[in-house]
Structure 1
């Protein structure tokens, strides 16, 4: 799928989980981070979601607070585990958040990473873990019908009878609802779902080659579905450690993955995108993804130290972001 010459957009993840690991659940530091990122010229701000696997503040609440503290940046979830939530409650939250954000919202959605900790989350919330991807897709179809056809919502054959009433909820600020992106991998089933149903694709694939191959596949599948070119936004979720000393950056990132995931950088980098080194080196690494088709990069700063986070945020804005936005 062609992306033309659309300018690359660069966003940054709010450190909600990083703060939680350090035992800090205060909202003001996150708002300060958000204000600074907006002032530095980042295009978007994002936050993750987890109940028990990697606990942190609720993303809808955090983004509502950030919406009041910012004026320009796009706000997004990366990603909201919508499959954990009843479709009615999820629709109410998303529509309300879209109003708080004055239409600046992108809802990145996930069905839940296939891991024992995620399964524990679902079981604790009383939601079936099996079939969660299909549940997410059904939820998205319900939301879309409610938001685009306020008087014509009807339950499909696989949808539960207690999902009625969506048309009576307040509509989102964005006509037809905010963009809904699938935060996902590059399996054949996932690529088909993105091409058929979603407005964006937000993977964290470990190599530009795997990204390009998957993105080309989405383009072919979307065309087969009759969807217009450029209808799916190609995004990327990538973790960076910006430090002029490349070896120090690698060590810091390894300490980060061990604290965050309980696994080494080498283990996690097999399936996630991790880059480290100087701003120039990180820009070169991310630039390969841009050449592979990525147009909205969501950067997670790989540090638990708030001072290091701010320093890297500033350095990324100074040297990394302009390099990624430069034409060619």
Structure 2
């Protein structure tokens, strides 16, 4: 069975939100992509108060200076397409109030005919939490727990009831309902995050940080699922942040930096781990939407030719 392939939607500065997102979404569906994806960066601190991912001295990518809202981006893509899944990798859930996020995702799923994949993470940016976190960053895991619980309640049958630290619903009708149960996928690698995924989520959103590291995390998740008696398979979608170059790169090339054939070759070892779907985000290097569509087509063709 071929690996499903997804494409990152254009959210960065060089793209026009209103015209380029629907244009690229339609093109990706024609090319054959199975899914379209967004990510979330609420702001870009200037100067930065901490490094990327909280790692001291690691600079934030320039692309993070301008990132369109993920739910607006997905809505534009939903209106322009008919078949592809619509996912987030990831929404920083604790930057959103649980009830409003649950209702927005339900509405998007209803409007798109049941195509939403709700990918959540806890985030790491102190500045984003200072601007819009509903609780301090140290409580982000507990907030994510309640986001998942509220989503399940709001998406389920009426009357909706939920009592938690952040959200209280005594008894209410909440619509629209999603077209089908929305899968919840989590970015989780270790500790409590891994337990949360096994106990409460449908899938896993790893990032391509190295084949051995992803393999170790995947095996640990499977072992924990078996230990906890989980029967439901864990859906997997790997995020790949690629930097396309028209000419092949040589020497000690970084993974996913280079031409389409090189990017495709780098994907193969991850597909061999048994991951079901790979999201390739190539939006950072194209100058505009026309170039992005060309790159997306080239990468898709190269990946399929390589055996994905």
**TM-score calculated relative to the size of structure 2:** 0.84
Paired position in structure 2 for 1:261 = none
Paired position in structure 1 for 2:272 = 291
Paired position in structure 1 for 2:115 = 104
Structure 1 pair 167–9 and aligned structure 2 pair: CA distance change class (3 A): farther
Offset at residue 25 of structure 1 (A): 4.2
Q: Does structure 1 conserve the Cα–Cα contact (< 8 Å) formed by 2:245 and 2:257?
A: yes
Counterpart secondary structure, 1:227: coil
Return the match for 1:64 from 75, 86, 110: 75
Q: Does structure 2 conserve the Cα–Cα contact (< 8 Å) formed by 1:201 and 1:233?
A: yes
Offset at residue 298 of structure 1 (A): 0.6
Structure 1 pair 244–88 and aligned structure 2 pair: CA distance change class (3 A): closer
| 1:35-91 Cα shifts (integer Å, max 9, x gaps) | 111100000011122221334222212211211110111111121122111111111
Paired position in structure 2 for 1:164 = 169
Structure 1 pair 216–300 and aligned structure 2 pair: CA distance change class (3 A): same
Q: Does structure 2 conserve the Cα–Cα contact (< 8 Å) formed by 1:242 and 1:249?
A: no
For structure 1, the residue ranges without an aligned partner over 5 or more in a row are 1-5, 252-265, 267-273
Paired position in structure 2 for 1:31 = 22
Return the match for 1:148 from 148, 151, 156: 156
After the TM superposition, list the runs of 4 or more consecutive aligned residues in structure 1 that deviate by more than 6 angstroms. Answer: 248-251
Q: Does structure 1 conserve the Cα–Cα contact (< 8 Å) formed by 2:7 and 2:35?
A: yes
Counterpart secondary structure, 1:313: helix
Offset at residue 245 of structure 1 (A): 2.8
Counterpart secondary structure, 2:158: coil
Paired position in structure 2 for 1:256 = none
Paired position in structure 1 for 2:183 = 179
Q: Does structure 1 conserve the Cα–Cα contact (< 8 Å) formed by 2:207 and 2:238?
A: yes
Q: Does structure 2 conserve the Cα–Cα contact (< 8 Å) formed by 1:191 and 1:214?
A: no
Counterpart secondary structure, 2:175: coil
Structure 1 pair 130–61 and aligned structure 2 pair: CA distance change class (3 A): same
Offset at residue 249 of structure 1 (A): 11
Q: How far apart are the structure 1 equivalents of 2:102 and 2:251? A: 41
Q: How far apart are the structure 2 equivalents of 1:60 and 1:138? A: 20
Q: Which has the higher helix share?
A: 1
Q: Does structure 2 conserve the Cα–Cα contact (< 8 Å) formed by 1:250 and 1:276?
A: no
Q: Does structure 1 conserve the Cα–Cα contact (< 8 Å) formed by 2:110 and 2:176?
A: no
Structure 1 pair 250–51 and aligned structure 2 pair: CA distance change class (3 A): farther
